[in-house]
Structure 1
Amino acid sequence: MKKEGLDLVVQELLERSGSLVNIKLEGHFPGNRLAGGKYSMGSHTITLYIEEIKNQCYQLFSSGEQFWDYFAVVFAHELGHAEDKELEELAERLDLCGTEQERCQIALKIEENAWGFAEKLLPEMDKAFMRKIICHSLKPYWDQLQLEPA
């Protein structure tokens, strides 16, 4: 992946969103998950893990042809976390949860907020493409809560 291309996508979406969040691009997520991005409230920083995003794209779409759109969707989702006015309160509630069920409901709300922002930020994105990514992302929460996909 050309860093210049990644920087262009990042700049365009930062301008569209009006966000002042800090951005870091890294190769790999330093853990055992296939996390494409992470938002840190403390430092107001989004870190994007390029190799993980590439791997996610291959897993979901069996090719890297849609990498640039996939990268934009992942970044828009992380911007959704960064710009979520409810995030701090939801994170506090998450820390105080009494049950795993309640914890999962709050975590789902956090993710749904971020995806809602991403959809508004990328109105030109192919709806079926984006829906597939969102459903894949939310499925573990829906499964745990025994909910039907929205």
Structure 2
Amino acid sequence: MVSDLLQRSGSKVSVKLKKHFPGGRLVGGKYQMASHTVTLYEEEIKRQCTRLFGSLDRLEEYTAVIFAHELGHAEDPQLEDLSLLLDGELTIQERNWTALQIEENAWRYAEKLLADMDQAFLAKIITESLAAYREKVAGDIA
């Protein structure tokens, strides 16, 4: 699955598989810009899949979605500039909008890469993933 998505994307990103994300958060994947590396955290991906879908029946597809999202970060031409913005002096509102933009960019890329996937399945994952970011932005508006 990883090899297939790498080939389809044309990305030159390095990929690492690890059992757990350090620090106790439920992070399934992480893109490291400095090393151009995506790390997938197997146990956290399993826990996320079980929480969202109630079983591991679609674990392979779920993992593909997480990886495609991380590829979206790796291939995002705006990521470096947006990350630099986050490192600067922004208001909380600007920070929340920028973080949402980073995540939405990665998900748009993943959607294109996974155009042949069950779209309801993909949409459920994207909606869940973006919920916290969108809630913060909505709170800024209220």
TM-score (norm 1): 0.91
> Pairwise mapping of residues 131-146 of structure 1 onto structure 2 (< 5 A)?
131-146=123-138
Aligned to 1:66: 58
Aligned to 1:106: 98
The alpha carbon displacement at 1:98 in A equals 2.2
Aligned to 1:17: 9
Aligned to 1:89: 81
Q: Tell me, what secondary structure is at the counterpart of 2:38?
A: strand
Residues 123-142 of structure 1, C-alpha deviations (whole Å, 9 max, x = no match): 11111100010000000011
Q: CA RMSD in A?
A: 0.9
Q: Tell me, what secondary structure is at the counterpart of 2:24?
A: coil
The alpha carbon displacement at 1:145 in A equals 1.2
Aligned to 2:71: 79
Q: Tell me, what secondary structure is at the counterpart of 2:40?
A: strand
Structure 1: gaps of 5 or more residues: 1-8
Matching residue within 118, 129, 133 for 2:121: 129
Q: Tell me, what secondary structure is at the counterpart of 1:143?
A: helix
The alpha carbon displacement at 1:60 in A equals 0.3
Is it true that 1:46 corresponds to 2:38 in the alignment? yes
Equivalent pairs: percent with the same residue? Answer: 58
The alpha carbon displacement at 1:100 in A equals 1.3
Q: Tell me, what secondary structure is at the counterpart of 1:146?
A: helix
- Partner amino acid, structure 2, of 1:120: K
Which segment is superposed worse, 101-110 or 138-147?
138-147
Residues 93-113 of structure 1, C-alpha deviations (whole Å, 9 max, x = no match): 111142111101000000000
- Partner amino acid, structure 1, of 2:32: S
C-alpha distance in structure 2 between counterparts of 1:91 and 1:146, whole Å? 21
TM-score (norm 2): 0.96
